[in-house]
Structure 1
Amino acid sequence: MRKNTGRTRLMLLFLLIMALLVTACGAGGNNANTKADTSQENNQEGNSPASGDTGTAAGEKVKLKFTFWGSPQEKQAVEDAIKAFEAKNPNVTIDSIHIPGTDFLQKLNAMIAGNEAPDLSYSAAWKLKMGEEGLIYNFFDLMKEDPSIKKEDYLQYAWWNWDTDKSAGPYQASVVPSLMYNADLFKEAGVELPPTKAEEAWQWDEFVETAKKLTLDRNGKHPDDPGFDPKNIKQYGVKFSLSWLSYMPLVLSNGGDYLTEDGKEFGLSKPEATEAIQKIADLINVYHVAPSPVQASSIPAPATALQSRKVAMVIDGSWNHLDLSKANINWGVGVLPVLKDYKTFFLGGSLIIFKSSKHPKEAWEFSKFLTDPENVLELHQGLWMPQLKQWYEDPKLVDSWANEELPGRPAGFQDAVMRSTYEHAEPSAENNVRNFVEIDAAVTAGLDQVWLGTKTAAEAMKEVEAKVKPLVKGTYLK
């Protein structure tokens, strides 16, 4: 009976997500608030990995299906961690399925529709809808039955909740917005390297002037030079990811937020937010120190972009540090530029366990293994950052993953990335704002026009505000 119910709900979720993807930019807000049938969810209660109801006899061979994404370097590191887990748990085999991030949800949906959902998986913001539909385990319930896991041990804002007492778990590991640069290009331009301490962060005007000095057209001219050709730029001063990951630190720095403080209004349409977003757009359309979306499409991923000298600085996710450590490049990290106060955030996915799993106990044990920095230290020495507070406070633990002699930890990392985030973290919009997936789809579409220079940030976000008003339902963590 439980098996059939799980399949039905998996199919319902697949249809729901597909509907959301189609209507996210329009007036499809009603679908975003669809709730699972309460009686169905109650039928799933009590089916906990720690309850012993696993259907697995002692010593029986178990195979877990695990889906994940990541660069080639991340893939290798995860596979190494899987081998370590299997060595400690010889009765468990992990069938790992690596799916590129751009195709992940589509392929996961196909697996769900075919009644072949994995036992556990990497996940993004869409996991909260799965939680509301009762398809994944509530992490808070699992914690009650496993005293080795305590909420207070984790970073304050590291939780993915779909309700007050229902969570898809803490971050599997943390990543942060990061400013990365090619040190050789700074030297050639005679420009000082980016500061590494939050209290010394560039004010916005300083950042813009630095980006100008690092921008060159085909004739070697800078944006302020007579005869500069903005249509033929060979080296940009900076490249942003043009997503919430890159613009939200500046919005927060300027006193804005994704929603208003009371959670009742769309915050990105307020002056503090639109001013910050407009400043990023001006880097593209006024100062010509950053590529437009069209120009950026021909510029490779951050590590390759810096290595190829197409850009001098990149503001993107810290997961790129691993790729940079493998590239032949003299690189470094600095703190983010600010408008007023230094603000940033941790972000990261969580490992979700599907209730359709036939081996939830083993899935829970693998989830704990993969999220314990001690077991996957290699991943925390260039790709990930810990999600447990003691790894930022205990000098010995800090040295084990943030030592600046490690390949993925350049000089200045502890100040520019670790401390600046740990001491100035706000909730990430992705795991704090209710209905974020649907709202952000509309925001992203609206910002396309801002990056292209066809609308101001104030104009575009005012239009988005009208579209997303029915979806604004407050926050989870603050």
Structure 2
Amino acid sequence: MLQSPPIRWAGALLCAATLILSGCGSGSGDSGKVTLTYRLWDDQQKVGYEKVMAAFEKANPGIDVKIELLPYDQYWTKLTADAVAGTAPDVFWMSPTQFPEFVTKGVLAPVQVDGSKYHQTVVGSFTYQGKLYGVPKDWGIVGLLYNKDLFAKAGVTMPDKLTWAADGSGTLLDTARKLTVDEAGKHPGEPGFDPAKVTTYGFASWNHYQTQWMNWVSSNGGKLLDKPFGSYTFNDAASVQGLQFGVDLVNKHHVSPPATQTNPPTGKVTDMFKAGKVAMFPANNALLPFVAPEANFEIGVAAMPEGPQGRSVNLNGLSEAVSAKSAHPAEAMKLATWLGTEEPQKMMADGGYVFPALNGLSQGYVDYWKSKKLDVSPFQEESEGQTFPLPVTTGFTGFENKLNQILNEMYLGKLTPQQAADQAVAAGNASIK
């Protein structure tokens, strides 16, 4: 997912007065019904939520729900301004990286649900001082999309298990070499191979923290944070070794496109994969609706490679947050709590929108994509193993751009992984409030 630009709480005050006049919150119409505002950013999921909210309104005839869609690049700026103005929507989507900024400022109301019924990585992402501030909604997880046509053309079979190690051993690099070919038909390691004239790359390694280097770090035994709401620690030896592996795939082994072609914005590598120029592409399952319909080749899904410490992958969940200043707190809490129950979560899973956070309902999502001739069960299998959230600590929204700048330099070979990690950790810890 492309992340949002940094949020400045102080700057949001400038537009607070205007927002108070326009109002984002809820109200009661002449009918005596309570109207709740529900805000999201995904236009595809909005279609599913229209059906979900219709079911809620049918069961709760005294409540109307107004769905408000905002593009992702506007969502957080507007939500921050609304929170400052006291006009936040009643219920809204919350992400792990944004969560600390809102919960520490008293914007979110604690919820009362049985956390044991949901995926624990999602529950942990929205827990603060022992309380859950958001009903677990869904999760997306990083897996490996691959081009079955390129595999067939190269005569390569996807291994049952991809593995990697810092020294370059393992099935991932071996497979990527066989799929990487230059204009003369040569592969990396063969005499005459020209890394400047590659026509097809075996793998996409690039500066995208969610789908890339954070997974290398974690699978090598490194840690992003020492604890939730804690400090960054990914400049230790294990983390740096993981970073080095991601860079080596590009600059040493030449099985991934150079950083000059892939550094953000996000869509560059996605377009390369859709164009058939990259054989293996780490991606969150949430990208499937945007990739699968446009690909003119058969897509396969595999689990992310196992590192020296096993497989550890990012699982990024969302929650249904309730405004602490809702004009109708009881009704808002009723809606959020209901959205965490089986009926609505099954509707969203069966419609192929998301993996639901509520345990035991994932098969509906798998079955939907199976009907589209895509086996997404590796995503589901990964979720049952070792997973980790994006960094849950204050200041990430302001630190994100600096983090990407530093890691861009690393992938370009202008900073060593140790230098990049030291700089990033120092900048990140300075941003923590």
Quickly name the TM-score band, shorter chain normalised: 0.7 to 0.9
Measured after TM superposition, the shift of residue 272 of structure 1 is 0.3
Change (3 A) 1:259 1:325: same
1:181 paired residue number: 146
Change (3 A) 1:377 1:163: closer
Distance 2:302 2:143 in 1: 7
Measured after TM superposition, the shift of residue 303 of structure 1 is 6.4
Change (3 A) 1:58 1:110: closer
2:384 paired residue number: 422
1:212 paired residue number: 177
More strand by share: 2
Letter in 2 for 1:156: Q
Change (3 A) 1:364 1:203: same
Measured after TM superposition, the shift of residue 91 of structure 1 is 4.0
Deviations 1:7-29 (A, max 9, x none): xxxxxx9634769xxxxxxxxxx
Q: Does 1:451 align with 2:403?
A: no
2:117 paired residue number: 153
Deviations 1:109-144 (A, max 9, x none): 3444665422221122223222111122122xxx1x
Measured after TM superposition, the shift of residue 222 of structure 1 is 3.2
Contiguous gaps of at least 5 residues in structure 1: 1-12, 20-53, 144-148, 392-396, 474-478
The SS at the match of 2:386 is coil
After TM superposition, the score normalised by the length of structure 1 is 0.73
Distance 1:334 1:256 in 2: 23
2:322 paired residue number: 353
Deviations 1:277-296 (A, max 9, x none): 11111222222322344412
After superposition, residues 131-150 of structure 1 pair within 5 angstroms as: 131-139=103-111, 143=112, 149-150=113-114
Of 135, 160, 165 in structure 1, the residue corresponding to residue 130 of structure 2 is: 165
Of 247, 256, 259 in structure 1, the residue corresponding to residue 213 of structure 2 is: 247
Letter in 2 for 1:406: K
* Greater mean alpha carbon deviation, residues 327-336 or residues 87-96: 87-96
Deviations 1:378-413 (A, max 9, x none): 532434222233x1xxxxx554343487346833x3
Letter in 1 for 2:273: L
Deviations 1:167-211 (A, max 9, x none): 32253101111111111111111111243xxxx332343212222
Distance 1:262 1:59 in 2: 45
Deviations 1:286-337 (A, max 9, x none): 2232234441258847765433213211112121233345445411111111
1:108 paired residue number: 79
Measured after TM superposition, the shift of residue 471 of structure 1 is 5.6
Contiguous gaps of at least 5 residues in structure 2: 1-6, 14-25
Measured after TM superposition, the shift of residue 437 of structure 1 is 4.0
After superposition, residues 178-327 of structure 1 pair within 5 angstroms as: 178-195=143-160, 200-204=161-165, 205=169, 206-240=171-205, 242-245=207-210, 246-260=212-226, 266-296=232-262, 300=267, 305-327=272-294
After superposition, residues 326-341 of structure 1 pair within 5 angstroms as: 326-328=293-295, 329-340=297-308, 341=310
Distance 1:209 1:436 in 2: 36
The SS at the match of 1:191 is coil
User: Do 2:91 and 2:321's aligned partners in 1 also have CA atoms closer than 8 Å?
Assistant: yes
Change (3 A) 1:331 1:301: farther
Letter in 1 for 2:280: M
Change (3 A) 1:312 1:269: same
After superposition, residues 319-398 of structure 1 pair within 5 angstroms as: 319-328=286-295, 329-340=297-308, 341-381=310-350, 382-389=352-359, 391=360, 397=361
Distance 2:163 2:368 in 1: 23
Measured after TM superposition, the shift of residue 84 of structure 1 is 3.5
Deviations 1:244-273 (A, max 9, x none): 322222212211111347997642101100
Distance 1:467 1:307 in 2: 35
After superposition, residues 118-137 of structure 1 pair within 5 angstroms as: 118-124=89-95, 125-137=97-109
User: Do 2:235 and 2:421's aligned partners in 1 also have CA atoms closer than 8 Å?
Assistant: yes
Distance 2:385 2:195 in 1: 39
Measured after TM superposition, the shift of residue 363 of structure 1 is 2.3
Change (3 A) 1:164 1:306: same
Change (3 A) 1:105 1:464: same
Q: Over the residues paired in the alignment, what is the CA RMSD in angstroms? A: 3.4
User: Do 2:204 and 2:257's aligned partners in 1 also have CA atoms closer than 8 Å?
Assistant: yes
Change (3 A) 1:304 1:403: same
Distance 1:276 1:337 in 2: 13
After TM superposition, the score normalised by the length of structure 2 is 0.80
After superposition, residues 426-445 of structure 1 pair within 5 angstroms as: 427-431=388-392, 433=393, 435-438=395-398, 440-445=400-405
